[in-house]
Chain A
Amino acid sequence: MEIFWLVILGLTMGIIFGVALEKSCVMEPGVLIGQFLFKDYTMLKMFLAATATGLVVLSGLTALGLAELHPKSFVVGNIIVGGTILGAGIAIAGACPGTVFAQIGRGYKDAWLTVIGGIMGAAFYGYNKSLIDGVLDMGSLGKITYAELFPPLPFWMLGLITAAALVVVMIALEMYRPWKVDRGMDQNNDASARSNAAHA
């Protein structure tokens, strides 16, 4: 596809992504950090729903031979250390590399500084990549997936089973704590949500 159309496609998909992040309040710092404090379960629910949907979609696309998977390499040291630093960064910034753009669109001025910090962080890693990767080097297991670890089951079957398991987890979570409780909404009266000033 020509770059022009890829950019149009990216913008269109991003708009849908941004609306979903804003409407679900997942881009609110208090909601994101609230998940790490286990006082708000919105982020986990959205995350599980997106993952389960992705599993079903990719099971279908790969079973029909329409798409190939693009799993990321399991570079052991980088994944463990980088993942931990990323988690700390989410807790400090109250944002992920994607949701910070939703914060900018939402009109939060401080999110611009998060993006500037992010650019400096990406530069720091880019200029020092070989040094950092060298220090963290613990070998790589390659682009391995659980479907390859359980050869009796094809990806689409393991994908659908995993998606079903995630649905069970979501049902249990919803019974434990309905999502409207986290939004401060009266469960029986949607109208109160509209007058609720506390957005997050």
Chain B
Amino acid sequence: MDLLRQNVWSPYLAGIIIGLLQIPTFLLVDTALGASSSFVTGTGFIFSLFDSSITEIKYFAKYMSKDKYFWQSALVIGIALGALISYKASGRKASFSSASWKNIGASSAPVARLLQGFIGGFVLLVGARIAGGCTSGHGISGLAQLGVGSSVAVAAMFAGGIVTANLLYKRAS
């Protein structure tokens, strides 16, 4: 429990733990670790409240029916629970937005944060769904399987991120 109360872990420890999660993922779920598919599952069920024909769209139907997508949806809810337990255990305080935004010269005005969050989230998932995976699926899992496509996806991800970050933020803190 002392480990849970610690303020920070080394990125290597965190990475090893996340890498070990591939064991139950491959052995028990017969898939690879990922996160962005859960958005399609969530979208399908939320939109089905307004658009009953959404289940006739093959893409949504697939993510609303296969077991592994329910597992992944539970996984991302678990991620939120884990972060909640972790920050409470280390005695940190909640805030409207991360204090780290000021390290890169970004505004901490709530309106700016909400607007940027919404736009960023939209771009994030459009990109991830076009590519067929995100930082977890293509990144951590794709590279661990020596996937050629995933290695190109990660290179493109870093290229897009580096260019955009340098346009939007300041290097100096």
Chain A contacts to B: CB under 8 angstroms: 1, 3, 6-31, 33-39, 42-43, 45-58, 61, 66-75, 78-127, 129, 132-133, 136, 141, 143-147, 149, 155, 158-159, 162, 170, 179, 183, 185, 193-194, 196, 198-200
Contact = CB atoms under 8 A, between A and B. Distances in A.
Contacts of B26: 57-58, 61, 66-67, 70
Contact of B152 (A19, A29, A79, A100): A79
B119 A79 contact: no
Given A14-B76, A72-B147, A106 B83 contact: yes
B49 interface: no
Given A110-B114, A126-B59, A155-B146, A13 B156 contact: no
Contact of B80 (A18, A47, A51): A18
B128 A82 contact: yes
Contacts of B139: 47, 51
Interface string B80-105: 11111111001011111111111110
Contacts of B113: 110, 113
The prevalent SS among residues of B at the interface is helix
Given A101-B76, A105-B82, A16 B164 contact: no
B80 A87 contact: no
B86 A88 contact: no
B42 to A, nearest CB: 6
User: Which among B39, B129, B140 has the greatest number of chain A C-beta atoms within 10 A?
Assistant: B129
A7 B90 CA distance: 27
A98 B79 contact: yes
A46 B18 contact: yes
B124 A86 contact: yes
User: Which among A124, A155, A185 has the greatest number of chain B C-beta atoms within 10 A?
Assistant: A124
A25 B8 contact: yes
Nearest to B103: A30
Contact of A45 (B12, B46, B87, B94): B12
